[in-house]
Structure 1
Amino acid sequence: LTFTHSVASGDPFDSSVILWTRAVPKSLDGTTLLPDQSVPACVSYRVYTFPTLSGKPVSSGEAFTSYDVDWTVKVEATGLKPDTKYFFQFADCANVQTVSPVGMTRTIATAAKHVNGGDPLTFAVFSCSQYQSGWFNAYGFAARNTSADIFVHLGDYIYEYVQGGASIGRTVLGRELATIHDYRQRLNQYRTDASLVAAHAKAPWITDDHEVADNTWKAGSANSNDSASGCTWSPSGACFTDRKFAAIRAYHEWMPIRQVDASDKLRIWRNFKIGKLLDLTMLDTRVYDRDLTDQLNHCDVVVNSIAAFPNRSIMGLAQEKWLYDTISRSQERGAVWRVIGQQIVFSQLNFGGSFDLVRPSADAWDGYRANRGRVLDHLYRNKIKNTVILSGDSHANWVSDLAHPNDTVTYNPKTGAGSIGVEFAGTAVTSPSAFGAWITPAAANNISRQLVAINSDLQWSEASYRGFFTLTIDSETLNATYYAMNNISFANLDGFASANFVVSNGENKLSRPVAGGVVKASVLKDV
C-alpha cells in the first residue's frame, strides 16, 4: 500500500474522533499493472499520547478499504480521554513497516468541565479555496504560525470549475464536476497542496457545506436544475439530484466528517458541546432544504422580489427549529458562548448603488430576510447572550454587530448598545475578491470606506487580501484575529495579522473602540 494523501482527523467528541487516510495498493513489483481492484485492502491504526508514538496505544484497530470508496479510510478512534491531544498513524496490515505520516488530533471537553482548565481554545476559520486561483498558503500559515486547536471550514472547500490557473501552474484536472469520478478526482488534486496536507495533519477539522456546485439550493445550482433542460448542461447529462448525490458521496469519502443521521444522508448540521465554554453549532445553509437562490444572476430580480416572503427558508423548517432549540439549550446548560458556523454572510449588506463592482447578494441571507428576522427575533426574545455567527462565501472580510437591519433606534452603531451578538465573516483562502480579482488594497479600501458608512452595523470591511481568521476563546473574552496572505501566486508562508477584535462576555457586541481603533488593512467605521 501507499498512503497517497497523508492523514486527517475531524469531528472530535469528548471520547472519540474520526481519523482519515487514503491507502492505495501499489503495482506489482517490476510491472505497471494495477492490483486486482476487487480485492479490499486492510489498514491498521494506532493512537498515542506522545508524538514519538511510544508506549501502549490508547486506541487501535483495523479497517478495510476498496476501490468502491476510492481507497479512502475513515475510522472512529474511541475510548479516548476528554480534552486531550493525541498522535496517530496508519499502517499496512500486511506490512507493518509501511506507515502513513503521523497526525495530531484532540478530543473536546465534556459538557460539564472547563476547557483546558480555563485555558483559551483557538479555532482557525477558513472558506473558499479555489485551486486554480492560487496556492493554499492560508492553511499552511495557520498550521505553522498559529496555535489553532481545531480548524473550521465554512464551505467551498473545492470548486467545480475548470477555468484558469495556467499562469501560476495551478490548472485543475478533468472537467466541470458532475459524476462521482469527477468529484473524487477534484478532491484528490486539491488534497495534494502541501499547505492543505499540513493543516489536515496538524489538528482535527470541523467542516460544513457539501461541495456540489455554485449557488446550490435544494433543487438546483447556478447551471444545473432539476428540469428537462437542466439535465443537458454537462457532457455526462447529469441532472442536479444525480450531481448532488455524487458530490455528497465523494465528500463523505474524502472528509473526516461523521454521518450525523443514518436515515438522513443529506444532514450535516450538528452541534459540538465544548465543555462549559461554548457550543459550536454548524448549519447547512446550502444543500439541505434551501429555497430558490440566485442562479448566476439570471433570476436575482425574482429572488429579490420574494426575499422578504415569510415562508422562504435558507435551511428548511426542521433545521431552523433545531437551531433555535440548540442555542436555547446551550444557554440553559450554562455554556458561556454560542458560536454558529455557516456558509454565507448573515448581516445585511446595503451597497447603495454608488459603484458597479459590488451589489447586493440574493444568494446570502439578504435573499432570505424573513428567515434572518426570525433568527434575530429568537435571540432578542429569549435574551440569548454571547452569540457569534461565523460566515464565509463572499471572498471578503466583514465584521459586524448583530442587530435588525436599518435599526438605529434600538441599536447604536457608535457604542454597540442594542446589539444581540457579533458576526465574523472571513475572506477566501484563494478565491477572487468580491470587489474584483486582484484588486489593490487602495482600490478595495475606497469601496470598503463607503460600505462601512452606509451599513449601520458593519464595523470593518476588507476585500483585497486572501486569508483566514482565528477565534481565541476563554470564559471572559473572545478574540478574533484576521490574517492576510501577501502573495498566493506561489507557495509561501508570508502573511500578517491585519486586525484584531474583542468581544467581552455578556456585552453582545464588539468591544469599543472597535479593533482598538487600529487595523493594518482597510478601514473601520468612522464614528
Structure 2
Amino acid sequence: MRVLLFSTALLACAAATRLLDNNLVYRSPFLDDVSLAHDTPAIQARHVEHVRRQMEDAGSFDDQHYPTFYGADFGNASIYFYCTTPFIWTGGINFTHSGAGDPFDTSILLWTRAVPVSPSGTHQLPDQSVPVCVAYKISTSSTLSGKVADSGQAFTSYDVDFTVKVEANGLNPDTDYHFQFSDCSNPSSVSPIGKTRTMPNPNTPANQVNNGKPLTLAVFSCSQFQAGWFNAYGFAAHNTSAQFFIHLGDYIYESLGNGAPIGRQTLGRELATIHDYRQRLNQYRTDTSLVFAHQNAPWITVWYVADNAWKAGTADSNDTTIGCSFSPSGACFTDRKLAAVRAYHEWMPIRQVDADDKFRIWRNFQMGKLLDLTMLDTRQYDRDLTDVYYNTEVVNTIAAFPNRSLMGAAQEKWFFNTLSESKDRGAVWRVVGQVLFIFLYAAHPIFLDLDAWDGYRANRLRVLDHLYNNKISNTVILAGDSHANWVSDLAHPNDSTTYNPLTGEGAIGVEFAGTAVTSGSSLGANIKPAAADAISRVLVESQSNLNLQWSEGSYRGFFTLTIDSHTMKATYYGMRNITFANLDGFATAEFEVKAGANKLSRPVGGGVVAIKAGALKSNGTN
C-alpha cells in the first residue's frame, strides 16, 4: 500500500509540473538551460512547500481546490504528502489581454494574461507561491457553442508576469477558429472570445487556398506609444478582410519621449530590465485598437530590443565599461538583450524556433502552394556592426565590404535555401518580411540608411544575385523601419543596362515598404502632405533612384496584400489623425503585380494615386 500511495503522489507531482509545462512561456528563452529558462519542477516544489493542506485533517479544512483537478479524489490529502496539488488562486482573474499567433496548418499558439484579482480592499497580489490556473478552448463556432476542437489547462504565475501561451492542436487547415480562456476555479470567469485562423496545408493547390478566394495580409511596423494612437491596427481589424497580421519590427520602443499632450506618456524609464520590458509591453497592450486587433487575427512578428541593435550592442549600450554606463538605464547589452527576449516571448504569441541558436526566430510559413512567407531577423541574430550614430562615417567606409552581413552567415544560407526550396515546391509567390531593401541614393541627404541594407551592400547584391542566377520569380519583399511608404521594382540598384524603370523589364521582383503605425516620418517630424509629396517627387524623379516608383511620407498607417494565384494587389492606407483614438483612415494608393511578371504592373498605380497621396515616377505612365 505504501508503494501505491507513493506512486500516486509522484503521478500527482508530474501532473502539476505538466500544467506548468503546458504554458510555453516557461520555456523562454531556453527550454533546457535552467539558468536562462524557468525550472518548472522547482516552481512546482515551491508551490507544494506552502500548501498547508498537506499537514491538516481534511475533514476540518475549507477546501479551496479546483474539484478533482488532476482527476483524483482529494478527500484524504495525506495520500499526497510527498508531492501534491498546490492550491490554485480562487480569488478571481482579470484577463487583461488575449490573442493568437504563429499559425500552422493544424495548430496555432493562443495567448493571454491572467492577472489575479487583488483581495478586496487591497492592492496586493496574492501569495506568490499560489499558481493561477487557466483553461482554454477553441472551436469553429463563433459562440464556442459547437464542438470543441481542442481544450486544455495551464498554470501561470508571477515568474512569467502571469502570461499564458499554449498550443492548440488537432485543428483543420485553412479554417477560421474562435477561442476563449477561463478561470479553472470559476469557469464563468472568461476572457473575450477571440478569432484566429490556421494556415492551409503546404500542399494545398494555390487556387484552392482560402476556398479559392484571395488571401489578405495586413502589414505593420514601428509603433511608438508616445508618438500617437495605434489607430492603424483598429482600422485594419475593423475595415479590411485581412486574415493574418504581419508585424515587421519595432512593436515597442525603449525610449520615453513626451506623449503627455496626447495622453500617451510612457511609464518607467528607458528599457533595460525584465521589469522595464514587461511594463512597456503591458502599457502598449492597453491601446484599444491593438487589443482588438490581437483578439481578431493571428499575428506573425519579429522582435525588438533597442535602437539600432546588432549582435554586440545597440545605439547606447554594449558590453564594455563605457557601454554599460553610457545608456541612461545603465544596462549592459547582454543583460538588456536577455531581458528583452524573455519579456517578448512572454508577451507575444511567437514560437520558440531554436533554443540553442542565438535566440533565433527567423522562420518560414508555407501557405499552401500559394505563397511562402519568410520572416527574417535583420536586427538581433548575427548582424555586423551598424550605424550607432557616433560611428556613421566609419560604417559608411566599410558598407560595401563583401564579408559584412545583415543576417549572419547561417541565416543568409538558410534564406537562400528557403527561396530555392519555395520555387522547387511550386509555390507561386515568395513574400519576405524584413527592413527597407532598395537603395535610396542621396537625392535627399537623409536617405542613406546605414542601419538597413545600405550599410550591407554586398549582402544585398548576394540576395539579388541569388534571385537572378536561380531564376526565382514572384519574389515580393515587405519592408518596415523607414517610417515612410516606398514602392519599387526589385533590381540591382540603378542598373539601367538590364533594368528599364519605365517598363519594369529586367526586374526580378517587387518591394512594398510601409510607413510607421505612429513613429515620426523620415521625411520630417509631423510633415504635412504637401511638403512630404514635394520631397517624394524629387526622389522618384531622380536618376539616382531608378527602381523607386512611388513615395509617400506624411501619413501614418499600414498596407495590405491581397493575393491569389494570378495577382497580388497592395493597398496602402493612411490614418488622418493619430492624436486620439479613432478609425478615420483611407486608401492612399493601390498597386498590382501579375504572377510571372516580376515587376509592378504598368501604368504603375493605374497612373494615379488616390487622394493625391505621395508621388509616382512620371505619373506611372511613361
- TM-score where L is the length of structure 1: 0.97
Letter in 1 for 2:294: H
* 3-state DSSP of counterpart to 1:104: strand
Instruction: Name the structure 2 match of 1:200.
Output: 294
- Pairwise CA distance, 1:56: 2.6
User: TM-score, normalized by length of structure 2?
Assistant: 0.83
Deviations 1:275-313 (A, max 9, x none): 010000000000000101110x21111111101000000
Q: Structure 1: how far apart are the matches of 2:351 and 2:184?
A: 24
Q: Contact 2:229–2:578 (CA<8 Å) still a contact in 1?
A: yes
Does structure 1 residue 478 correspond to structure 2 residue 571? no
SS of equivalent residue, structure 1 residue 22:
strand
| Aligned-partner SS, 1:113 | coil
Deviation of 1:234 after TM superposition, in Å, equals 4.0
Amino acid at match of 2:469: R
* Larger radius of gyration between Structure 1 and Structure 2: 2
Is the aligned partner of 1:279 residue 2:367?
Answer: no
Q: What's the offset of the Cα at 1:236? A: 5.2
Contact 1:348 1:366 survives alignment (8 Å) = yes
In the alignment, is the contact (CA less than 8 A) between 1:122 and 1:472 conserved in 2? yes
The amino acid of 1:202's aligned partner reads N
SS in 1 for 2:318: coil
> Who is 2:614 aligned against?
522
**In structure 2, C-alpha distance between the alignment counterparts of 1:437 and 1:235, rounded to whole Å:** 24
Structure 2 residue runs without a partner (length 5+):
1-91
Whole-Å Cα distance in 1 between the matches of residues 113 and 447 of structure 2?
42
Residue pairs, 1:256-295, within 5 angstroms: 256-264=349-357, 266-295=359-388
Say yes or no: does 1:35 pair with 2:145. no
Aligned partner of 1:252: which letter? H
2:558 alignment partner, SS class: strand
Which of 134, 137, 153 aligns to 2:231? It is 137
**Aligned residues of 1:89 and 1:103 also touching (Cα < 8 A):** yes
Q: How does 1:201-240 map to 2 (within 5 A)?
A: 201-208=295-302, 210-234=303-327, 237-240=330-333
1:492 aligns with 2:585: no
Per-residue CA deviation, residues 195-223 of structure 1 (Å, 9 max, x unaligned), is 00000001000001x21100110001111
Contact 1:477–1:505 under 8 Å retained in 2: yes
Higher helix share: 2
Cα separation, partners in 2 of 1:234 and 1:360, compared to 1, 3 Å = closer
- For 2:318 and 2:120, the matched residues in 1 are separated by 48
SS for the counterpart of 2:420 is helix
Q: Does 1:82 align with 2:176?
A: no
Report the Cα offset of residue 5 of structure 1.
2.6
AA partner of residue 418 (structure 1): G
Are 1:483 and 1:499, in contact at CA under 8 Å, matched by a contact in 2? yes
- 1:136-175 maps to which residues of 2 (within 5 A)? 136-175=230-269
Map of 2:39 onto structure 1: none
CA deviation map 1:425-448 (0-9, x unaligned): 000000000011110111111110
Matches of 1:389 and 1:108 in 2, distance apart?
20
Q: State the aligned residue count.
A: 521
Q: Deviations over 1:74-102 (max 9, x none)?
A: 00000000000000000000111110011
AA of the residue aligned to 2:364: N
Deviations 1:109-165 (CA, angstroms, capped at 9, x unpaired):
111113123211100000000000000000000000000000000000000001111
Q: Specify the alignment match of 2:557 in structure 1.
A: 467
SS in 2 for 1:58: strand
Shift of 1:228: 1.3
Q: Tell me which residue corresponds to 1:326.
A: 418
Structure 1 spans left out of the alignment, 5+ residues = none
For 1:402, give the aligned amino acid. L
| Counterpart residue identity of residue 293, structure 2 | A
- 2:221 maps to what in 1? 127
Identity %: 70
The match for 2:81 is none
Are the aligned partners of 1:44 and 1:90 in contact in 2 as well (CA < 8 Å)?
yes
Q: Find the counterpart in structure 1 of residue 515 from structure 2.
A: 427
Give matches, 1:285-324, under 5 Å: 285-295=378-388, 297-324=389-416
Partner of 1:502: 592
TM superposition shift of 1:30? 4.2
* 1-structure distance, mates of 2:277, 2:95: 17
Residues 118 and 475, structure 1, Cα contact 8 Å, conserved in 2: no
Range with greater deviation from structure 2 (187-196 or 5-14):
5-14
